[in-house]
Amino acid sequence: MNELDKRIVSCLLSNARASYAEIGQTVGLSAPAVKRRVDRLLDTGVLRGFTAVVDPEALGRGTEAFVEMHCKGNVSPNRIRAAVEALPEVAGAYTVSGAADAIVHLKAANIHHLESALERLRDLEIVDTTVSTVVLSTLLERAPVPSEPAQ
Q: How confident is the model over 82-106, as pLDDT tens digits?
A: 999 999 999 999 999 999 999 999 9
Q: 68 has which bridge partners? A: 103, 131
pTM for the full predicted model: 0.75
Q: Please report which helix (H) or strand (E) contains residue 129, including its range.
A: strand 127-134
**C-alpha 149: how far from chain center:** 22
Asked if residues 80 and 95 have their Cβ atoms less than 8 Å apart, the reply is: yes
Domains and CATH numbers, the chain: 3-43 (1.10.10.10), 56-134 (3.30.70.920)
Q: What angle do CA 132, 130, 137 make, to 5 degrees?
A: 15
Q: Which of 9-18, 73-82, 87-96 is least confident?
A: 9-18
Instruction: Check residue 150 and give its pLDDT.
Output: 44
